Structure 1
Amino acid sequence: MDRSMQIKAMASDTRLEVLRLLSDPGRHFGHQWSADPVEFGVCMTMIAEALSISQPTVSRHLDILRQAGFITVRKHLKWSYCKRDDAAIRGYLDWMAKDLSLR
């Protein structure tokens, strides 16, 4: 795993907010009609709207989160859907705690 990419991903308030929103997609994106946000993921467009940022900006943030392994992205028709990877996030946090001798 590229730890430097994970550190970069966590070093942004916007990306942290994306991870917070994706922690409970049913609550934050229950109005998504194109696919079940919990089972399938959340459309990138809806994430941009929730953050009040442009599509290109959210795409850059989501790509960094994807490269870090914190989200998965799957395409369906013309849309891309994102899901949070809790196991990857937990692995990063465990690594940080061990690396910084916090255990």
Structure 2
Amino acid sequence: MDRSTQIKALASEPRMKILSLLAEPGTHFGEQWSADPVEFGVCMTLIADALGVAQPTASRHLDLLRQAGFITVRRHQKWSYCKRDEAVIGAYIDWLTRHLKATA
């Protein structure tokens, strides 16, 4: 995994907010009718609405999070759904913890 991409992905308040919202999709996106937000993921349109940004802006943030491996994106019909990848996030936190301890 490219750690510099992951660091860049987390160096943004909107992207951190996306990860925070996706940590509890049932709470933040319970109104999603097209698919279960916990099981299937959250529609990009709802994420853009939650951030208060245009969909292209949200898409750019989501693409960087996807490139970093922090989220997965899957298409269903005409919509794209995002879900956190907890294993990748956990591995990044472990790496960062080890790296900071080693250099401190």
Counterparts of 1:1-103 in structure 2 under 5 Å?
Answer: 1-101=1-101
Please list the CA deviations of residues 46-96 of structure 1 after superposition, one character each: whole Å capped at 9, or x if unmatched.
000011000000000000000000000000111000000111111101101
Q: Distance in 1 between matches of 2:9 and 2:15?
A: 7
> What is the SS of the residue equivalent to 2:82?
strand
| 3-state SS in 1 of match to 2:72 | strand
Unaligned runs of 5+ in 2: none
Distance 2:13 2:47 in 1: 14
TM normalised by structure 2 equals 0.96
Q: Distance in 2 between matches of 1:87 and 1:76?
A: 23
With normalisation by structure 1, the TM-score equals 0.97
Q: Which residue identity is paired with 2:13?
A: D
CA RMSD of aligned residues (A): 0.8
Distance in structure 2 (CA, Å) of the matches to 1:41 and 1:80: 9
Q: Give the Cα–Cα distance (whole angstroms) in 2 for the partners of residues 24 and 95 of structure 1.
A: 24
| Number of residue equivalences | 102
